[in-house]
Chains A and B, each alone.
Chain A
Amino acid sequence: MTEYLKIEHVCKTFGKGESRSEVLRDISLDVAKGEYLAIIGHSGCGKSTLLNIVAGLTEASSGYVFLEGREVHQPGPDRAVVFQNHSLLPWLTVYDNVRLAVDKIFRGRKSTAERHDWTLRNLELVHMTHAMKKRPGEISGGMKQRVGIARALAMSPKVLLLDEPFGALDALTRAHLQEEVMKIHAELNNTVLMITHDVDEAVLLSDRIVMMTNGPAAQIGEVHRVELSRPRNRLDLIANAGYIESRARVLEFLHKKSHYVEAA
Chain B
Amino acid sequence: MRKTPAWVHALRARAIHVAGIVLPPVVMLALLGVVWEFLCSSPDATLPPPSKVVTDTWELITQPFYDNGGNDKGLFWHLLASLKRVALGYTFAATGGIALGVLIGSSKWAMRALDPLFQVLRTIPPLAWLPLSLAAFRDGQPSAIFVIFITAIWPIIINTAVGVRNIAQDYRNVAKVLRLNGAEFFTTIMLPAAAPYIFTGLRIGIGLSWLAIVAAEMLIGGVGIGFFIWDAWNSSLISDIILALVYVGIIGFLLDRLVALAGKFIGRGTVSV
Contacts and interface: CB of A to CB of B under 8 A. Distances in A.
A76 B188 contact: no
A76 B270 contact: no
B178 A77 contact: yes
Interface string A15-50: 000000000000000000000000000000000000
Interface stretch (B16-24, B168-176, B201-209): B168-176
Contacts of A74: 176
Interface stretch (A6-14, A59-67, A80-88, A169-177): A80-88
Contact of A90 (B173, B178, B180, B270): B270
A136 B111 CA distance: 33
B189 interface: yes
Interface string B188-223: 110011010000000000000000000000000000
A77 B179 CA distance: 7
Contacts of B178: 77, 100-101, 104-105, 155
A76 B180 CA distance: 10
B45 interface: no
Contacts of A101: 178
A55 interface: yes
Contacts of B173: 57, 75, 81, 83, 87
Contacts of A79: 177
A74 to B, nearest CB: 8
A57 B170 CA distance: 11
Contacts of B193: 91
B67 interface: no
A133 to B, nearest CB: 13
Contact of A104 (B170, B184, B192, B269): B184
B176 A104 contact: no
A84 B234 CA distance: 68
B268 interface: yes
A89 interface: yes
Nearest to A137: B269
Nearest to A55: B177
B163 to A, nearest CB: 13
A234 interface: no
Contact of A81 (B171, B177, B188, B268): B177
Contacts of A85: 170
B140 interface: no
Contact of A80 (B177, B192, B270): B177
Given A87-B171, A89-B171, A77 B269 contact: no
Nearest to A56: B176
A159 B195 CA distance: 34
Nearest to B170: A87
B142 interface: no
Nearest to A104: B178
A56 to B, nearest CB: 8
B170 A91 contact: no
Contacts of B177: 55, 57, 75-77, 79-81, 155
Nearest to A97: B174
A135 interface: yes
Interface of A: 55-57, 74-77, 79-81, 83, 85, 87, 89-91, 100-101, 104-105, 135, 137, 155
27 contacts: A55-B177, A56-B176, A57-B176, A57-B177, A74-B176, A75-B176, A75-B179, A76-B177, A77-B177, A77-B178, A77-B179, A79-B177, A83-B174, A85-B170, A87-B170, A89-B192, A91-B193, A91-B268, A91-B269, A100-B178, A100-B188, A101-B178, A104-B179, A104-B180, A135-B269, A137-B269, A155-B177
Given A57-B176, A79-B177, 16 more contacts: A55-B177, A56-B176, A57-B177, A74-B176, A76-B179, A77-B177, A83-B173, A87-B174, A89-B171, A91-B193, A91-B269, A100-B188, A104-B184, A105-B178, A137-B269, A155-B177
Question: Lowest 4 A-B CB distances belong to which pairs?
Answer: A87-B170, A75-B176, A91-B192, A91-B268
